[in-house]
Amino acid sequence: MRKARRALGCAVLVAVPVLLAGCAAPSGVRVEGKAAEVERPLPTTVAGQPVTVDVVALLRGDPKVNEKIKYMLSPCESGRYPVDSRYVDVTGDGISEVVLNVQECRLTAYTGYGYNRSGYVYALPPGQPPVQLFATEESGVVVQPDPGSGLVLVRGRYRAGDRSCCPSGEETTVYSWTGTSFVKAGR
């Protein structure tokens, strides 16, 4: 009987937000239906062709990547590799680069600063091997793209008693692209 009550309670918790969702209208709430799905545009090269790269093989094959980071590049329990990748033009040249963050496997849907172990940016020149443009192997730093102008490094600012998931604040450092490298532009 207890299990049945729990199941009914869970069903109500799931159903109530669905029933309450809608749009305001003069006559009351108007239910519109399911949101349209939007396709994310694929990153492109100068020739307009989609760009993709095996990010795990890229990191494993790069002699500049620390061996400890390479050791982390094995599938997690979910089968997913602990690498977050984004294809974004961070140099402003019209060609997408790949921005990578290597995380610990214990990371769930939440991206905690304490779970990030390194970040990289690679250029993907058409017909050529990828080129490392930026790297940080400082634990707890998240590399975020700032399309067309550079990168933002975000690190948690912890006080005594903060858990690794929940820093009291954050510190950002901006890096700008000079045409040949990323340089610190400020905080």
Q: CB-based burial of residue 19 (10 Å sphere; 0-12 exposed, 13-18 middle, 19+ buried)?
A: exposed
- The gap from C-alpha 34 to its chain's centroid, in whole angstroms, comes to 26
Comparing C-alpha atoms, which of 168, 171, 169, 166 is closest to residue 141?
A: 171
The pair of three-digit structure tokens given for residue 95, joined into one six-digit string = 């060609």
Average pLDDT, stretch 20-25? Answer: 46
For residue 172, the SS3 value is strand
Residue 25 has pLDDT above 60, yes or no: no
Residue 104 has pLDDT above 80, yes or no: yes
**Is 117:137 a contact under the CB 8 Å cutoff?**
yes
Residue 131 has pLDDT above 90, yes or no: yes
User: What is the pLDDT confidence band of residue 109, given thresholds at 50, 70 and 90?
Assistant: very low
What does DSSP assign to residue 48? Answer: S
Average pLDDT, stretch 73-88? Answer: 91
Average pLDDT, stretch 98-104? Answer: 93
- pLDDT at residue 108, rounded to an integer: 46
What residue type is 32 in one-letter code? E
The pairing of beta strand 116-123 with beta strand 131-136: antiparallel
pTM of the model: 0.70
Average pLDDT, stretch 129-134? Answer: 95
CA distances to 6, 19, 25, 154 from 28, rounded to whole Å, are: 32, 14, 5, 43
Residue 30 has pLDDT above 80, yes or no: no
